[in-house]
């Protein structure tokens, strides 16, 4: 008997596992279609581009199902091999049949459980924007959650109670598929070869041909979620009670020293919901200037310019030819902070940390993994103060799950796949702001997130083939200049409105982008200034033009906006009001595999976890291009910033996971 014939005989008892796998895969495809091509429970598309997701979903499910199939066959084959070594060929056929039957039953039960929990995971994702996780189950472990879930299902604006029909029919359908797919005469060699080819094609498609971290996170299969949860639990950096007390005391002391005044205090006892929760003093609440701001009810226009690098922005680099002439001209009449850093990467990190006033989580995919947590933002405070709050996005907010967060904080969101270019995007935003928000008779917040200056920097409408073939370092200047022109058109439209004199305009980048500086050319390559240093300005009535060199970060923006609005409320912002005129500067951010802190004139970049001791670099804050690493020259400063960074990251992660 040849080797291949021996292999065929060895694995032939397990052919039923193949049919179970294929039947389960078909059911998973149907579940994916019901998820991606339906509205969410609130009447909006779950994703605006389901065609960008469905093929990845099909491939991802095939990959993990094949992996499970191979694992089961290998275990069963090992049992068979050990039996044959021990007992020889006696009753081998009978034993093979018994092992195959038991394995098939276990495998069928495994897939049944996975299908049931996959349906639950997908419904949780539709309702909360978060995958099923241990943290979410702990949050909603109360029995009242069952009644809440029933209420959600009954009022589902997609198809009410469809979940229960799917639940009832899912397993019988899979069994029927198994019976249908299980032929009497078929070449397992051909089936196995076809599956192997499709496996290779699927792997190449989702990991090399058409990748996307946000999409992969949203489509993460349940088995992958469980494995990640178990891994993160075993490597958990959660704080025990003693450590929490120590880290809390250290953080709060540091924050108050950096604030430089006594207008805030940290809550104690039952009111201390998180280490970050602080309450305003009576002096601040009754401050006449703050009361005057509240009575003024100013409007806010907050604009995130996609991937605008501080290294390229003209008003931060006056010696370089500028691709941002309009932004530069506006900066001349605004207050700018020359050393502003993003507090998270990529867009989700920058946008969420700006809203929350807390740096991005150091290990979790915050937009998805923590979507069930309640965390306030500057937008939610303005909404509570009866502002009309609207979020405009040129990119699909469902792509990276950021739309789930915006639905918590804003009255409405605006996105249309026909308006993804900054030209059409800014046209729509300007029209809506002028013709609708400006005429409602109430203050408003309009937050805009652009898209055209996005990697690979060839999205700008009208780019010539010659421009698209330029090196990335030159192409980014083309798209930045294009976005700058569209920003100018938007601003020239809104500044004509009467209400503009009572409006603050805040323009910044969500993050920068590494283009080979410091030996880094990917977003996951570190926390150097090429990716973290961003332009930032505030323009409006009463804002005196000036250039500030204090160290700042996106987590400072939320408290600054509330200061301008005159809103004084307890909050959990880690940042500081940039207009307070007291205290020291501080920047803080958590990025993919790295964290960074700027304090006392220096900026430290360290690989995560923070206690690893793996420092990437120590730079003077004035060294914005980070050309001189001071790690070896200043060990005491390095050690001091390492300790600060550890405290801040531990406290921010702890607080993000628990919310307010």
The whole-chain average pLDDT of the chain stands at: 89
User: In what helix (H) or strand (E) does residue 95 lie, and over which residues does it extend?
Assistant: helix 92-128
Q: What pLDDT does 236 receive?
A: 45
> Is the distance from CB of 458 to CB of 475 less than 8 angstroms?
yes
Residue 39 pairs with which residues in a beta bridge? 45
* Rounded Cα distance, 523 and 284, in Å: 41
**CA 402 to mean position of chain CA atoms:** 7
- In tens, the pLDDT along 451-461 reads 999 988 988 99
> Is the distance from CB of 595 to CB of 608 less than 8 angstroms?
yes
Confidence category of residue 235, pLDDT binned at 50, 70, 90: very low
Better pLDDT: 368 or 166: 166
Q: Which residues contact 191 (CB under 8 A, 6 or more apart)?
A: 18
* Rounded Cα distance, 518 and 625, in Å: 9
Q: Look up residue 231 and give its two tokens.
A: 């891994």
Better pLDDT: 644 or 147: 644
**CA 645 to mean position of chain CA atoms:** 22
* Rounded Cα distance, 129 and 406, in Å: 11
* Rounded Cα distance, 216 and 56, in Å: 8
- In tens, the pLDDT along 526-563 reads 799 999 999 999 999 889 999 999 999 999 999 999 99
- In tens, the pLDDT along 240-273 reads 889 999 999 999 999 998 888 889 999 887 667 7
> Is the distance from CB of 297 to CB of 562 less than 8 angstroms?
no
Instruction: Measure CA of the first residue to CA of the last residue in the chain; give whole Å.
Output: 69
Q: What pLDDT does 157 receive?
A: 81
> Is the distance from CB of 571 to CB of 376 less than 8 angstroms?
yes
User: In what helix (H) or strand (E) does residue 241 lie, and over which residues does it extend?
Assistant: helix 241-259
**Lowest-pLDDT range of 75-79, 143-147, 260-264, 627-631:** 143-147
Q: Read off the pTM.
A: 0.82
Backbone angles phi, psi at 625, to 5 degrees: -90, 0
Residue 13 has pLDDT above 80, yes or no: no
* Rounded Cα distance, 289 and 283, in Å: 11
């Amino acid at each position: 008997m040849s080797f291949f014939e021996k292999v065929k005989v060895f694995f032939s008892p397990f052919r039923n596992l193949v049919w179970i796998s294929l039947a389960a895969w078909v059911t998973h495809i149907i579940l994916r279609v019901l998820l991606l091509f339906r509205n969410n429970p609130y009447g909006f598309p779950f994703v605006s581009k389901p065609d960008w997701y469905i093929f990845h979903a099909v491939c991802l499910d095939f990959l993990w199902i094949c992996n499970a199939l191979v694992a089961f066959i290998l275990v069963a084959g090992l049992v068979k091999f050990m039996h044959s070594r021990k007992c020889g060929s006696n009753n081998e056929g009978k034993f093979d049949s018994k092992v195959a039957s038991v394995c098939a039953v276990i495998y069928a039960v495994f897939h049944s459980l996975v299908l049931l929990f996959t349906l639950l995971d997908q419904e949780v994702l539709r309702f909360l924007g978060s995958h099923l996780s241990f943290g979410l189950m702990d949050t909603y472990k109360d029995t009242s959650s069952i009644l809440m879930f029933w209420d959600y299902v009954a009022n589902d604006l997609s198809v009410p109670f469809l979940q229960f029909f799917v639940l009832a029919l899912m397993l019988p359908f899979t069994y029927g598929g198994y019976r249908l797919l299980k032929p009497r005469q078929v070449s397992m060699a051909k089936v196995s070869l076809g599956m192997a080819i499709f496996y290779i094609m699927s792997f190449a498609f989702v990991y090399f041909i058409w990748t996307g971290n946000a999409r992969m996170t949203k489509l993460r299969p349940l088995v992958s979620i469980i494995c990640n949860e178990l891994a993160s639990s075993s490597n958990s950096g959660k704080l025990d009670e003693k450590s929490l007390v120590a880290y809390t005391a250290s953080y709060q002391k540091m924050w108050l020293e950096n604030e430089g005044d006594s207008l805030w205090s940290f809550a104690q006892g039952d009111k201390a919901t998180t280490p970050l929760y602080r309450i305003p003093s009576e002096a601040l609440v009754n401050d006449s200037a703050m009361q005057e701001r509240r009575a003024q009810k100013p409007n806010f226009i907050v604009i995130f310019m996609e991937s605008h690098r501080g290294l390229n922005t003209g008003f931060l680099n006056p010696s370089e030819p500028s691709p941002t002439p309009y932004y530069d001209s506006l900066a001349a009449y605004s207050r700018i902070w020359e050393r502003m850093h993003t507090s998270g990467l990529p867009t989700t990190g920058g946008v969420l940390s700006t809203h929350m006033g807390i740096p991005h989580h150091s290990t979790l995919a915050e937009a998805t993994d923590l979507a069930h947590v309640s965390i306030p933002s500057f937008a939610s405070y303005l909404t509570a103060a009866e502002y009309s709050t609207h979020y405009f996005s040129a990119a699909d907010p469902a792509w990276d799950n950021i739309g789930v967060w915006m639905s918590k904080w804003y009255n409405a969101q605006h996105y249309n796949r026909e308006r993804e270019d900054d030209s059409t995007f800014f046209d729509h935003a300007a029209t809506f702001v002028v013709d609708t928000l400006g005429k409602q008779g109430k203050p408003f917040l309009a937050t805009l997130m652009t898209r055209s200056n996005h990697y690979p920097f060839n999205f700008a409408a009208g780019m010539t083939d010659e421009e698209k073939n330029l090196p990335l370092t030159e192409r980014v200047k083309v798209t930045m200049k294009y976005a700058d022109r569209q920003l100018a058109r938007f601003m020239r439209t809104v500044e004509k409105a009467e209400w503009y004199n009572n409006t603050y305009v805040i323009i910044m980048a969500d993050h920068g982008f590494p283009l080979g500086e410091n030996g880094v050319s990917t977003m996951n390559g570190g926390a150097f200034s090429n990716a973290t240093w961003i332009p930032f300005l505030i323009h409006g009535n009463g804002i005196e033009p000036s250039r500030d060199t204090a160290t700042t970060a996106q987590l400072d923006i939320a408290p600054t906006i509330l200061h301008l609005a005159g809103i004084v409320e307890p909050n959990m912002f880690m940042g500081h009001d940039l207009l307070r005129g007291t205290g020291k500067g501080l920047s803080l951010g958590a990025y993919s595999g790295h964290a960074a802190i700027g304090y006392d004139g220096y900026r430290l970049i360290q690989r995560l976890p923070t206690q690893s001791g793996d420092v990437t670099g120590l730079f003077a804050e004035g060294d914005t291009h980070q050309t001189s690493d001071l790690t070896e020259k200043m060990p005491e400063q390095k050690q001091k910033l390492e300790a600060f960074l550890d405290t801040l990251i531990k406290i921010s992660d702890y607080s993000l996971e628990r919310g307010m």
